[in-house]
Amino acid sequence: MKNSRILGTLVLGLLWATHSTALAYDVVEVKGGATLVGTVTLDGIPPPPKAYNLITFPDPEYCGRISDGQGWRLLKDFVVNDRSQMQGVVIVVEGVKAGKPFSLSIPKVEARDCQFLPFTTVVRDEHGIEVVNMDPVMHDIQAYETSLAQGTRVLFNSPLPFNSQHQRENIHATHKHVPGPSLVHQFQLSKGRKTFVMQCGFHAYMESWAIVVDNPYFTFTNETGGYVISSLPPGNYRIRAWHPSVKQEQVHTVTVEPNQTVQVDFSLASPVGRWTAHTIQAPPRFTSAALGRPVLIEPLVEHQRP
């Protein structure tokens, strides 16, 4: 374990050292930097979360700690409050060639309670991503690049061993999520593809999405759908609001003057119709009888509600 951590540190350092000179972004002093503020709302009724019957996937007892108590695991990719304000939307400023320091490190995604956290993040092309297992079950990391125009291509597929620091003999026990094995992967996206997605090959309800950025002017909307991007050099830019479950992202063009605060709001269209095949079925097609043994699925961490 110690050797693997040292190796991971060396890989991280090598990734930065190898590619730092290839970046097209320059760090300069920003004088008269402008600020972007705004809110992202969802236009329409939020769709129900995707639903997965835990009996049809490995580790139903452990992964059931986040379930609806009826054997269904819900993937809540839309987090919207009662004012239609949407959390977790990535706001990206395009066209910035020089400005404040690029503080984005190798992004870390945790496999925790059979979910990938965070659900949305950002990555840099020709850099890498780290995945850490917090669970006493094994995961299989499948990473892809994708775009509507060019389709999907596999970037890597690697097992993530179970976290041996937790007691496997009591799968229903609570634990402190001490970090387990870490997986570090470098990747290079094809030209034109700027969307990165990870899924667990064992647990299909584990997803994590990312968009590629080439400058540090990005952020994520908070629980009230708000965002702030500061120290933006004066100029003309395209501002994108991106969320993996919204088919059509929204783009605004804006001109910012020195020391100006500009408000740019977004409204993303909610999916309509039957937007996913993963829905709750009553009664379920498969029950614990299919396993030939009793299965205790307890929502120990969260009792998910549609």
Q: How is residue 7 annotated by DSSP?
A: H
- What confidence score (pLDDT) does residue 209 get? 96
Beta pairing class for 90-94 and 235-242:
antiparallel
What b/e sequence results for 107-146 when a residue is b if at least 16 CB atoms lie within 10 Å of its CB, and e otherwise? Answer: bebbbbbbbbeebbbbbbbebbbbbbbbbbbbbebbbbbb
Cβ atoms of residues 152 and 145 within 8 Å: yes
The structure tokens listed for 71 are 């054997």
Q: Where are the domains of the chain?
A: 2-303
- Per-residue pLDDT reduced to its tens digit, 108-129: 999 999 999 999 999 988 888 9
Q: Among the listed ranges 92-96, 102-106, 138-142, 296-300, which one has the minimum average pLDDT value?
A: 102-106
The structure tokens listed for 174 are 């609570």
pLDDT at residue 13 greater than cutoff 90: no
Residues 218-231, mean pLDDT to the nearest whole number = 98
- What confidence score (pLDDT) does residue 3 get? 45
pLDDT at residue 9 greater than cutoff 70: no
Cβ atoms of residues 106 and 127 within 8 Å: yes
- Give every CB contact of residue 187 below 8 A, 6+ residues apart in sequence: 126, 127, 128, 129, 143, 145, 155, 156, 196
Q: How far apart are CA 208 and CA 186, in angstroms?
A: 16
Q: Comparing 14 with 140, which gets the higher pLDDT?
A: 140
With bands split at pLDDT 50, 70 and 90, how would you rate the model's confidence at 2?
very low
Place of tokens 């769709």: 47
- What confidence score (pLDDT) does residue 283 get? 87
pLDDT at residue 140 greater than cutoff 80: yes
pLDDT at residue 15 greater than cutoff 80: no
Question: Could you tell me what percent of the chain has a pLDDT over 90?
Answer: 61
- What confidence score (pLDDT) does residue 168 get? 66
